[in-house]
Chain A
Amino acid sequence: MIEFKDVSKTFATEKGNVTAIKDVNMKIEDGEIFGIVGYSGAGKTTLIRMLNGLETPTTGVVEVNGTKISELDRNALRKKRHKIGMIFQHFNLLWSRTVRKNIEFPLEIAKISKADRQKKAEELIKLVGLEGKEDAYPSELSGGQKQRVGVARALANDPEILLSDEATSALDPQTTDEVLDLLMDINKRLGITIVLITHEMHVIRKICEHVAVLDGGKIIESGQVLDVFKHPQQPITKRFVYSEAAPSPEDTNVVVEQLLKEYPNGKIIQLTFHGNQANLPIVSEIIHKFPKIRISIIEGNIHQTHEGAIGSLFLQLIGDEGDINGALDYLKTMRVETEVIEHGR
């Protein structure tokens, strides 16, 4: 478990003191993916760097699995850092080393024998899907591939936690998704705790279970990602949640799993409307045509995007198979995007 207790950090600069972190109290459970979101200058980097001692709190305590990071001496801190992986926005790979050698780098630092290094590198290359690229240099890789090397390197010493500082911010949307999927996969398979910071809310929504919103060095809101998305309290949080255009908030595994848990009966479908389709009286039409189906509205929303309004509506349909399939066919004729929500989407 990771714990911040009354942590503050003040930098002394030529222009006076800058308080980057103020009275942060926070707990991160083992094995979860915890997101910290905030605008530029909010103090995210400063906060995450305290976890591996790259930054020391001015007051307060940072504990990782019971160890107070700021109380470790140099040697102990270096040992601890072997067990805390970190990935970066600009990857920070050594250009002079091949993929394989970059992944072996932290193992060399931890003085692992050559045979063990090679074996571990081999495993990690498979884990992150870089087979065939072992002997390529970073300059021969795409951004997404570089970040895969970054992830593999961060995992080399079997860390207890993985820190991610804007690891997807330099990547295009599709590559971002790939890397996020990889992180999720690693979290599931290895049970490793991931702390990630980002200024992009969709990153949080896609993979995090808990989120903390950081502003001016303070945590202004935190909780389950789903709750924060549904009921943002603070104006800044609202801005984060609403600023997000496509893809719509429902497009996440967490939300889907949650819905399926909450509504085990019948079928859950998601309707997506674009522009003035939102004006069609679809729900009343279905009720009219298929009176035996019970319909509950689970949730709905409309986002303004640069391409016009996008609305989505989640419905739970309870009734017999035939009627529900009939309703689905009917929806298809209405030119409304319809998706049946299922496990493992």
Chain B
Amino acid sequence: MPTVIGIDLGTTNSLVACMRDGVPTVLADERGVKLMPSVISIGEQDVMLVGDLARHRRVTAHDRTVFSVKRFMGRSFEEVKDELHLLPFLVQDGESGPVKISLFNREYTPQELSGFILRELKRRAEKALGQELKQAVITVPAYFNDAQRQATKAAGFIAGLQVLRIVNEPTAAALAYGMTNRDSGTVAVYDFGGGTFDISILSIKDGVFHVLSTNGDTHLGGDDLDEALMEALLPSLPEEAKDDRQIILGVREAAERAKCDLSSEMQTMLSVEVPDKPRIELELTRPQLEGVMAPVIERTRVACENALKDAGLSAGEIDEVLLVGGSTRIPMVRALCAEIFGREPRADLNPDEVVAQGAAVQADILAGGTRDLLLLDVTPLSLGIEGFGGIMSVLIARNSTIPASATEGFTTAADNQTAVVVHVLQGERELAAENRSLARFDLPVDPLPAGLPRIEVEFLIDADGILNVTARDLRTGKGQTIEVVPSHGLSEDEILGMVKAGIEHGREDMDRRWLVEARTEAEIVLNSARKAVAQAREAGFDEDRIKRFEAQLDALDEARKSDDHAVIRAEQQRFNAETQELAGDLMDAAVKRALAGQKLEEA
């Protein structure tokens, strides 16, 4: 039985996990780090850096680095254009195709960029497990629509993975929870991450995980909190800073850092650090932050209420509330959650890892390992077609258990008409134009007098939550499958082209990759160490020791120029070992702040 991996492809962080001896286990990288930042950066010699290394280049190499790509998956330019002004990279209209994201000297689709993240996770898992891996389960926000799911699946293929299933993140979390808590009951999963918010309500009984309802917002997360804080800070910044993309990025980093600090502290110093620019420092208290965040966090309430209503339950009938996602560490979020459901949420789950663990469980179910669990999920949005007068006629209602299907008959209005246009929609609004247009396709018909052709179309939402369309001519009995390319999506041919490019990319020169990775890592360490040195000097730290430390730094800098990655790694290790104590003292010398968030080992 080949191993199937489970992947949590997050807006901010991604993880890979698999089942090991009956336990869902998140796989770490060589340094023991499990969370991989969903950041991509083009390094020296055009080597694509993904994860921690790329994350550290967000400010220093801002013109070669992109992040939060998941926000663009399956979205049209129209849908995302209002949020682009706070992002440092260029996003362009892809017309009928996906949006195009500029990264250094090329444009990429969000599918390709997510593909890079998935490929890196695959590589990490292969290294950890010592075997080649080909199949995966990938999680998505429950509230993702058809186009967003298709985009995720395409990203998997581009990364060289056969995607056995797209699983909803809150459902995966419930699965991981239910593995260890075998009681039956009704649970609410509140998943508030970096870019999206989901609420799902499930009943768990005798190994059956039955989703009763789901609701959410695919554009609501920690990013929005950062941005709200940024907007609030902009007036207090020096005038010349406001148009500087690099400073804006520095503000974003500082805002996020301060936000996280204030989950455990009551006040903090927000400090904006950009290379070669004066440092900007501002005091920030938790109540101040809460004032800025409140309207954003409050938006999760109505989704919870709608989910309860659709499940036909009152808040009092929920037995457990599970918190998932980094943003649920915010005290204000926990308080709101407790208020909505009238009970304290469970605090014993790891909000970062539980989705990946659930994905590993689902992967094992699909591989045939775990046999006693059954997952019954739902479609988050109603599916319909445009009918007379631009009204959406619903074929499959939201929260229907998937797979689900519906058939609809079509005929012609004019003589010798050779095609009927079918416009497929997803959403809850009455007017077709106010819902997401999934696809518009021509149904071929034989030329006959009006009203004579009788075509039966079956709409099937599969277990991935993705639409499949087949048509049958009732007169001839001829059937056909219709390829529904979602609006702003990729066709099968386009995906195949990218898969091919991916295979070539997979054959890249590994020595070169290792070299660039080693150099980048050394560079990051050097940057933060130099900053520490400058601050230690200011603070009047023992100059002799600083000199000795600087000598070590120069040695590492020299080694960094080597063409052999092993040499750089060895020097880096030596440097780390020999300067550990000194670095600790440097930090203690009132420079803690300067190093916070720059700790590569722990990031």
Q: Tell me whether A and B are bound partners.
A: no
Taking beta carbons and an 8 Å cutoff, which residues of A are in contact with B?
Answer: none
Interface residues of B (CB under 8 A from A): none
